[in-house]
Chains A and B, each alone.
Chain A
Amino acid sequence: MTGFDAATAAVQAALDAGARYADARVMHRRYESMSARNGDIEELTQDESIGLGVRALVGSSWGFHAVPELSDAAARDAGRRAAAIATASARVPGPPIDLVPVEATVASWASGCKVDPLGVPLSDKGDLLVRATATMREHGADLAEGLYQIWDTAKWFVSSEGHRVDQRIRECGGGISATSIGDGETQRRSYPSYRGQYGTTGWELVTSLDLAAHAARIAEESRELLTAPECPSGETDLILGGEQLALQIHESVGHAIELDRILGWEAAFAGTSWLDLTRLGTLRYGSELMNVTIDPTIPGALGSFGFDDEGSPAVKRDAVREGRWVGVLAGRDSAAVAGLDYGGSVRADGWARLPMVRMTNVGLEPGPHTLDEIIAATDDGVLMDLNRSWSIDDKRLNFQFGCEVGWEVKKGRRGRMLRNPTYTGIGPTFWRSMDMLSSEIVPWGTPNCGKGQPGQTGHTGHPAAPARFRNVRVGVRA
């Protein structure tokens, strides 16, 4: 059976079993990763998985069942089971469920890809990681690591409303890191970010990173950090590099504007949100420089797609406009509960997982400055970059982030390197203190966003650029 045939059979079986709405998604994913350590390949893994997940709405209750087979019998059984699970859900029923309307679409979509990442010889990919990690060792790293990951996903989506959408999304990326071990502490430098850079693109992304060219520098910087002075403790002006700001957006904006969190659907696990829907359109989220969009149409960014996993087309929307909160990440059912007229942000990380509200590309629009101009305009502050640790409360308000590296900024110049830089704050207070923003936007990819039970790993994108924040508490220590 084709993916469409299996999905159609599952949907029909769910309807026959009493569902008033059903959709099904067949996914075929090939995955490859390779890691290297200290000049040797550490692990090479390839995975291929095919299966079907069907979602059924019976009355006002949902059920979902997934199977690894695409036979007509297996698909129909999955549809029936999804309806039976939905029926069991009615033992603890909730309010009536509606779905915001989406035009039934018959379409195909594929992400851009110049060089098929699975077509590049393994030996070439291995050589790249071996060379970079060996160079880091030669330049003093105690632990030199490199990694790439590739996902090649084909999906076939069918709904009882007439959707019939197939997509092919190729994603890849990678990075390197150097760790130096001192007396009772470790210091790490990475390139181009904590886990690397990722996108919905071909191997050309990894090639463009030129990992080997940065290996010696980060190894030497990781050793330099061992003897660098500690980041001072207190309130100061904080300049964040783009990679760290991408994570700041992810944690304190992206998750906060997820409608399922706002509605309390993630209360016990991922948490809720400080945002209150009654203030959508009026709440001051940040300074007027803050313009955040939800944009799954950005070519090559990791959160891009043609259609989400409910069949809604990719559409760019505002989340924050001139500092005011104006939009959320929504699905068809959560949007209906909230009285909104759009979904479009629902995805699952595999055929066996329930689609749920996920970030697409949530990022900043550019500002008017450059990083050099921001540093030049700062009399006394700290510049931090590349995330090292991240922690934020369950309402997405109080955060503390650690970065790999900091630098003093004195009288408009970047000064000494600082080790163990951290900063902490409250989301809206922090964003309201942003007074300078660079134009140097990069769509950073985050391939490890955890959410949901059973757990799902989401792929998100975050356009971000360096920015300055005033009077931020830095240097929190144990």
Chain B
Amino acid sequence: MSELDLAGHVVELVRRLAGPDAQAEVVVTRADLALTRFANSFIHQNVAESATAVRLRLHADGRTAAGSGSLVDPDGLAALVERTLAATRLAPTDPAWPGLTPSTPVPAGAPVDEATAAASPDERAARVRAFVDAVEGLEAAGYCRTAHRSAAFANSAGHSAVGRSAEAAMDGIARAGGADGVARHCADRLADLDGGALGARAAAKARAAADPVELPPGRYEVVLEPAAVADLLDNLAWYGFNGKRYAERQSFAEPGAAQFDPALTLVDDPLHASGLPYDLEGTPRRALTLVEAGTTAAVAHDRRSGAEAGTGSTGHGMPGGSTFGPLPHNVRLLPGDGPVEVAAGPLSAGVTGAVADPDTAALVAGMSRGLLVSDFWYTRVLDAKQLVVTGLTRNGVWLVEDGVPTRAVRDFRFTESYPRAMGPGRVLGLGRSPVRQPDRVDGFWWETPALRLASWNFTGGASG
């Protein structure tokens, strides 16, 4: 039975058991997820999962409940409907129920690379082999993963949708004498992941990170590489452009206000890469401009938060979203268009030194004194409204003097308001070569070039 057949079958079961007035929405997802992990330069964990999940949300007699399960035989589906219906009858009333998505055209998603969808453990291991070989004797650690999802949506309002997605990602470090260098890449096709190039990049950065010095805390100008910028986008998405937090007045976002530097345009762009073309509630997904040339333009909504805000859903319904809110999770920081010379792609091999690509080199070249930061780690929000975040640098920091990285620097702890750091007049440069960064789960990604900021507040050295 296809995913759409399964979803339709569950809707029909609801109609039969709960009557024609019950409102039901069903998502069926088949997932083949595989991940090959390596550490100390060998594959130490290698996993694969084939799973089917059925999610039913039911609204009847003014009450709502959701159920999900892994059992897709007739008995399992019937049990899912029966227990969700029972939960609905016992649940308290839900006066804020936003109703079902009406029948709406859903765009075709990006093409699915069948080779990635069917990737074998040998293909992932081959990329790990290439990464390990490229670090030339340094210790290597990381993963190569592939994901394939085939899904369908159906609701009792007559709306349905289908979609597939495939994604591959590789994330690895090389270690040299206690210093780590990192390389990450997320792509629609496993064939686009070059384990050798990533390993060479990580190794060059690790070697350049050796023998770090400790610098005093304080405010420094910074060039943030894409891995570090991804953390900014992630936190902005969770705490700023989250429609529920916005409705609760817990977000800094003020649509219409020039809250960011004019150089910044942020777009949540789910159709830019492989992904399902609709959300958990069946709402078609589309590009949503969050920041237009520095002016906050929108926040993300699912049906519930969109109804509360009076704007409607933007296609950001997601599991758990009614608790933690609808999140943009395919955010692109659009690259700059200034006169920056880009000689090669950002993941080219043949890298030497801390600056691993011409895009970053162009930003570093303009900095008289500051820090080049590869990556952020363990960032946590101290104040949600101002989005004040503390965290640490990781995988390499360098002092830049007169446009040249001169010394590796020990990791810092920082405490910084993200929107303030990216505020008007604070962006001194933006790269032209965006790199897609993977998140912890497939389907979430952040695409960004390197970013030069006027000031970043480092509050202490990580050694004390």
Contacts of B79 in A (CB 8 A): 48
Q: Are A66 and B51 in contact (CB under 8 A)?
A: yes
| B441 proximal to A (CB < 8 A) | yes
Interface residues on chain B, size class: 35 or more
Within 8 A of A (CB), among B90-144: 90-96, 120-122, 124-126, 128-129, 132, 139, 141-143
Contacts of A44 in B (CB 8 A): 64-66, 87, 91
| A281 proximal to B (CB < 8 A) | no
- Closest CB-CB distance, A20 to chain B, in whole Å? 16
| A208 proximal to B (CB < 8 A) | no
Within 8 A of B (CB), among A415-432: 420, 422, 424-426, 429
**Contact digits for B40-71, partner A, Cβ 8 Å, 1 yes 0 no:** 11111111111110000000000011111111
Highest count of chain B CB atoms <10 Å: which of A126, A393, A402, A426: A393
Bound complex: CA A281 to CA B411 (Å): 29
- Smallest CB gap from B249: residue in A: A181
Highest count of chain B CB atoms <10 Å: which of A44, A122, A397: A44
**A185-B68 CB under 8 A given contacts A66-B49, A478-B388:** no
Bound complex: CA A426 to CA B380 (Å): 18
Contacts of B289 in A (CB 8 A): none
- Smallest CB gap from A395: residue in B: B462
Partner of B33, one of A89, A402, A426, A454: A454
**A264-B141 CB under 8 A given contacts A42-B323, A92-B125, A184-B386:** yes
| B36 proximal to A (CB < 8 A) | yes
Contacts of A142 in B (CB 8 A): 248-249
Q: Are B250 and A186 in contact (CB under 8 A)?
A: yes
Contacts of B381 in A (CB 8 A): 389
Q: Are B125 and A45 in contact (CB under 8 A)?
A: no
Q: Are B35 and A420 in contact (CB under 8 A)?
A: no
Q: B-side binding surface: helix, strand, loop or mixed?
A: strand
- Closest CB-CB distance, A70 to chain B, in whole Å? 10
Contacts of B45 in A (CB 8 A): 62, 64, 265, 354, 356, 453
Partner of A126, one of B33, B49, B91, B172: B91
Contacts of B122 in A (CB 8 A): 88, 91
- Smallest CB gap from B394: residue in A: A394
Within 8 A of B (CB), among A377-413: 388-394, 397-398, 400, 402
Stretch at the interface among B347-355, B413-421, B427-435: B413-421
Bound complex: CA A355 to CA B43 (Å): 16
Bound complex: CA A455 to CA B50 (Å): 16
Q: Are B80 and A426 in contact (CB under 8 A)?
A: no
| B385 proximal to A (CB < 8 A) | yes
Q: Are A89 and B69 in contact (CB under 8 A)?
A: no
- Smallest CB gap from B304: residue in A: A42
Q: Are A62 and B46 in contact (CB under 8 A)?
A: yes
Q: Are A91 and B120 in contact (CB under 8 A)?
A: no
| A50 proximal to B (CB < 8 A) | yes
Q: Are B43 and A265 in contact (CB under 8 A)?
A: no
Contacts of B90 in A (CB 8 A): 121-123, 126
Bound complex: CA A262 to CA B248 (Å): 42
| B283 proximal to A (CB < 8 A) | no
Contacts of A62 in B (CB 8 A): 44-46
Q: Are B171 and A398 in contact (CB under 8 A)?
A: no
Contacts of B64 in A (CB 8 A): 41, 44
Stretch at the interface among A79-87, A292-300, A362-370: A79-87
**Contact digits for A161-194, partner B, Cβ 8 Å, 1 yes 0 no:** 0000000000000000001010011100000000
| B212 proximal to A (CB < 8 A) | no
**A88-B65 CB under 8 A given contacts A66-B48, A393-B377, A402-B382:** no
Q: Are A478 and B50 in contact (CB under 8 A)?
A: no
| A40 proximal to B (CB < 8 A) | yes
Highest count of chain B CB atoms <10 Å: which of A186, A390, A400: A400
- Closest CB-CB distance, B252 to chain A, in whole Å? 9
Highest count of chain B CB atoms <10 Å: which of A142, A264, A422: A264
Partner of A398, one of B142, B249, B379, B413: B413
- Smallest CB gap from B173: residue in A: A268
Q: Are A45 and B382 in contact (CB under 8 A)?
A: no
Contacts of A347 in B (CB 8 A): none
| A130 proximal to B (CB < 8 A) | yes
| B390 proximal to A (CB < 8 A) | yes
| A94 proximal to B (CB < 8 A) | yes
Bound complex: CA A140 to CA B441 (Å): 38
**A41-B37 CB under 8 A given contacts A92-B125, A267-B173, A420-B382:** no
**Contact digits for A1-23, partner B, Cβ 8 Å, 1 yes 0 no:** 00000000000000000000000
**A46-B48 CB under 8 A given contacts A85-B121, A142-B249:** no
Highest count of chain B CB atoms <10 Å: which of A92, A267, A478: A92
Q: Are B80 and A48 in contact (CB under 8 A)?
A: yes
Q: Are A392 and B378 in contact (CB under 8 A)?
A: yes
Contacts of A269 in B (CB 8 A): 143, 171
| A102 proximal to B (CB < 8 A) | no
- Closest CB-CB distance, A346 to chain B, in whole Å? 12
Partner of B463, one of A89, A271, A398: A398
- Closest CB-CB distance, B322 to chain A, in whole Å? 4
| B392 proximal to A (CB < 8 A) | yes
| A209 proximal to B (CB < 8 A) | no
Bound complex: CA A25 to CA B249 (Å): 46
- Closest CB-CB distance, B178 to chain A, in whole Å? 10
Q: Are A41 and B121 in contact (CB under 8 A)?
A: no
| B446 proximal to A (CB < 8 A) | no
| B460 proximal to A (CB < 8 A) | yes
Contacts of B95 in A (CB 8 A): 40
Within 8 A of A (CB), among B261-313: none
Contacts of A45 in B (CB 8 A): 65-68
Bound complex: CA A49 to CA B385 (Å): 37
Partner of A397, one of B52, B96, B173, B462: B462
Contacts of A391 in B (CB 8 A): 378-380, 390-392, 413
Q: Are A88 and B463 in contact (CB under 8 A)?
A: no
| B38 proximal to A (CB < 8 A) | yes
Contacts of B72 in A (CB 8 A): 68
Partner of A265, one of B44, B50, B388, B392: B44
Bound complex: CA A207 to CA B462 (Å): 43
Bound complex: CA A61 to CA B128 (Å): 14
**A476-B460 CB under 8 A given contacts A63-B46, A389-B381:** yes
**Contact digits for B382-420, partner A, Cβ 8 Å, 1 yes 0 no:** 111110101110100000000000000001010111000
- Closest CB-CB distance, A230 to chain B, in whole Å? 12
- Closest CB-CB distance, B414 to chain A, in whole Å? 9
- Smallest CB gap from A34: residue in B: B91
Highest count of chain A CB atoms <10 Å: which of B42, B47, B394: B47
| A266 proximal to B (CB < 8 A) | yes
Contacts of B139 in A (CB 8 A): 264, 267
Within 8 A of A (CB), among B1-57: 33, 35-52
Bound complex: CA A160 to CA B52 (Å): 28
Highest count of chain A CB atoms <10 Å: which of B48, B65, B139, B381: B48
**A41-B385 CB under 8 A given contacts A49-B70, A92-B41:** no
| A276 proximal to B (CB < 8 A) | no
Within 8 A of B (CB), among A89-137: 89-95, 121-123, 126-127, 130
The 5 closest A-B pairs by CB, nearest first: A94-B42, A88-B121, A122-B90, A268-B141, A91-B125
Known: A88-B121, A179-B248. 14 other contacts (CB 8 A): A40-B96, A46-B87, A47-B68, A48-B70, A49-B68, A66-B47, A66-B50, A88-B122, A147-B323, A264-B141, A391-B390, A394-B392, A402-B382, A478-B457
Chain B residues proximal to chain A, CB less than 8 Å: 33, 35-52, 64-72, 79-80, 83-84, 87, 90-96, 120-122, 124-126, 128-129, 132, 139, 141-143, 145, 171-173, 175, 180, 182, 248-250, 322-323, 377-386, 388, 390-392, 394, 411, 413, 415-417, 440-441, 457, 459-464
Chain A residues proximal to chain B, CB less than 8 Å: 35, 40-51, 61-68, 81, 84-86, 88-95, 121-123, 126-127, 130, 142-143, 147, 179, 181, 184-186, 263-269, 271, 352-354, 356, 388-394, 397-398, 400, 402, 420, 422, 424-426, 429, 453-455, 476-478
